[in-house]
Amino acid sequence: MTNERDHLLAVAPGQSGQGREPARSGGAQEMTSPGGGCHGGEAELRRAAELAGKEDTLTGYAEDYPVGPHDQPQTMCPAFGSLRVGLRMRRTATVLVGSGCCVYGLTFTSHFYGARRTVGYVPFDSESLVSGRLFEDIREAVDELADPARYDAIVVTNLCVPTASGVPLRLLPKTVNGVRIIGIDVPGFGVPTHAEAKDILAGAMLGYARAEAEQGPVQAPRHGVSDKPTVTLLGELFPGDPVGIGHMLDPLGLAVGPVVPTREWRELYMALDCAVAAAIHPHYTRSVREFETAGRPVIGSAPVGHDGTASWLDAIGEACGVARSRVDAAKARLLPPIRAALADAPIKGRITLSGYEGSELLVARLLVESGADLRYVGTACPRTKWSDADRDWLTARGVHIQYRASLEDDAAAMREYRPDLAIVTPAGNPKAKRMPIPGLYFTNLISARPLMGVAGAGSLSQVINSAIASRSRYETMNAFFAGEGRDPLLSHGKTAGHAVAAGAGRC
């Protein structure tokens, strides 16, 4: 890791930048909670942000990412979502503006997940925050970073305190030396989940790219333009899934397009130039709006399992004007192997499922079609029309769906249904262990597998059945440790790792 400049620190695990944390006095102090954490003081931060000119931003977030029944499910710092999107893009620089502890946590987590990229940091103190000098520091940092030989875009992200202070990233130039500048506010008090923060950045990039395309010719994708109409996929997918979807689209005379969030700026143009956008993950509200503004139809759900694949191919065919007979022929070829794969890899046991990635209902469909006795799905994401088909299909089979699920909802479901396996968030894992119920972490162990088409049909059974079979080990451990280690952090559903991950505790 190298220092980009005097006031633009590149921080990595072990280089916390703590020495540059804001002094705990003056304006910054007044806007942070007494505990310095993410949960306390939220109303104050929101009020401060509104007074500082961020009312429109927060109102837009409230409309696009509605909360309720819980204000904010217990997920990690939302900025991790947009940070991860930026770090995965080629020729894209990311710069965080926030408290040192938040930047440390976010950077640590990014590197834990293998970012291997520099995270830029513009630190501040109460004087630079209050005087407006911080904005000038950001401007200088952007000017210095904006090398068109290295970057297509620079993403600058305001975390909680700069957002609450009204640091006006919208006043940054749109380009510097031909490098695009994208400024976004991702405060924990205005963005419910990290999943939705991904949409904030993806939507901002799509909007920028759409405006460029409207002005004239734009760069072609690295691997050229498809000669078939394409289907853009919305949502981070297992790398093999777009390939599998491509095989399913081929008999319809279609090709798979880019996955949004994209891995490179130039893919954004091709993503927008699709025949249809498939909202595989249903919470990409701003990205969907960009496709609709570009005149592209959008469909929901995904080709998961037998029934999901059948419905999805129908929807794609209809949106793209593919002849009914051609769609039916494709289904006749594609669906029997999926049904066979599901039958060959049955899942036996009662399951509850909780996650915060946006793919929870899709995994749930796959579990039910695999034979699992699924009782409950909790997702941190909101209900949108793009998952209505999945919701209807699941509720018709007796599965309770909880949108904006809290840790308490998930724990209550485990208590009520006493599952053989709980698929859980990190905070839910210790709850499951104490019951004792085998737990599998949704993000790392379930959503990081193929889910679509025939590859997805048999992908979950081995890991799930072996976890169910391990139940006696959990019971032995629970008996051995009975009454020990009632860590107050754990009893509140937090782990030390996630306290670090969230920087200041929004986890």
Name the residue nearer to ligand SF4 (CB basis): 74 or 429: 74
Q: Read off the amino acid at residue 138.
A: I
Tokens 């940070």 correspond to: 83
Closer CB to ligand SF4, residue 18 or residue 395? Answer: 18
Please state, in angstroms and rounded to a whole number, the distance separating the CA atoms of residues 185 and 342.
Answer: 43
Nearby residues of 32 by Cβ (< 8 Å), 6 or more positions away: 41, 45, 99, 161
Strand order in the sheet with 255-260: 255-260, 230-234, 276-278, 298-299
Q: Nearest approach, Cβ of 176 to ligand SF4 (angstroms)?
A: 25
Residue 159 or 407: the one with the smaller Cβ distance to ligand SF4 is 159
Of 164 and 276, which has the nearer Cβ to ligand SF4?
164
Cβ proximity of 305 and 365 under 8 Å: yes
275 residue type, one letter: A
- DSSP β-ladder status, 119-121 and 9-10: antiparallel
Please say which residue, 82 or 262, places its beta carbon nearer to ligand SF4: 82
Report, in Å, the least distance between residue 136 CB and ligand SF4.
22
Query: Per CB under 6 A, does 115 bind ligand SF4?
Result: no
Stretch that binds ligand SF4, among 119-127, 416-424, 483-491, 497-505 (CB under 6 A): 497-505
Number of residues that bind ligand SF4 (CB under 6 A): 13
Query: In whole angstroms, how close is the CB of 72 to ligand SF4 at the nearest point?
Result: 9
Residue 192 amino acid letter = P
Cβ-contact 278, 258 below 8 angstroms: no
Q: Segment near ligand SF4 (CB under 6 A), from 97-105, 133-141, 195-203, 481-489?
A: 97-105
Q: Which residue from 159, 252, 366, 451 is in contact with ligand SF4, where contact means CB under 6 A?
A: 159
Q: Quick check: 146 and 132 in contact, CB under 8 A? A: no
Q: Is 503 in the site for ligand SF4 (CB under 6 A)?
A: yes
Among 188, 438, 450, 493, binds ligand SF4 (CB under 6 A): 188
Q: Where are the alpha helices (DSSP H) in 22-121?
A: 26-31, 42-49, 55-64, 79-87, 100-112
Binding ligand SF4 (rule: CB under 6 A), the pick from 77, 248, 381, 407 is 77
Window 403-442: residues binding ligand SF4 (CB under 6 A)? none
Q: Where are the beta strands (DSSP E) in 159-210?
A: 175-176, 179-185
Q: Is residue 190 within the footprint of ligand SF4 (CB under 6 A)? A: no
Nearer Cβ to ligand SF4 (98/456): 98
By the 8 A CB rule, do 370 and 461 touch? yes
Of 79, 87, 95, 129, the residue at the interface with ligand SF4 (CB under 6 A) is: 79
Residue closer to ligand SF4, measured from CB, 98 or 439: 98
Residue 363 beta carbon to ligand SF4: minimum distance, rounded to whole angstroms: 27
Is 176 a residue that touches ligand SF4 (CB under 6 A)?
no
CB of 7 to ligand SF4, least distance (A): 19
Q: Is-contact 315 229, C-beta < 8 A?
A: no
Whole-angstrom distance, CA of residue 36 vs CA of residue 372: 43
> Which residue carries 């909880």 as its tokens?
402
Residue 98 CB, nearest distance to ligand SF4 (Å)? 5
| For ligand SF4, the closer CB: 79 or 129 | 79
With CB under 6 A as the contact rule, the residue among 8, 9, 38, 401 that binds ligand SF4 is 38
Closest residue to ligand SF4 in the complex (CB): 188
User: Closer CB to ligand SF4, residue 74 or residue 232?
Assistant: 74
Q: Which of 85, 93, 97, 102 binds ligand SF4 (CB under 6 A)?
A: 102
Q: Which is nearer to ligand SF4, 77 or 423 (CB)?
A: 77
Interface with ligand SF4, residue 502, by CB under 6 A: yes
Choose which of 27, 73, 98, 203 interacts with ligand SF4 (CB under 6 A): 98
Does residue 312 contact residue 303 with C-beta atoms inside 8 Å?
yes
Residues 428, 223: contact at Cβ < 8 Å? no
HSE (side-chain half, CA atoms, 13 Å) at 360: 32
Cα torsion through 237, 238, 239, 240, rounded to 10:
-120
Binding segment (CB under 6 A) for ligand SF4, from list 98-106, 252-260, 402-410, 449-457: 98-106
Q: CB of 261 within 8 A of CB of 201?
A: yes
Residue 33 neighbours by CB distance under 10 Å: 16
Rounded Cα–Cα distance for residues 414 and 419 (Å)? 6
CA pair distance 280, 315, nearest whole angstrom: 13
Which one, 111 or 331, has the nearer CB to ligand SF4? 111
Count the Cβ atoms, other than its own, within 10 Å of residue 420: 20
89 or 501: whose CB is closer to ligand SF4? 501
Residue ranges binding ligand SF4 (CB under 6 A): 38, 77, 79, 98, 102, 105, 159-160, 188, 502-504, 506
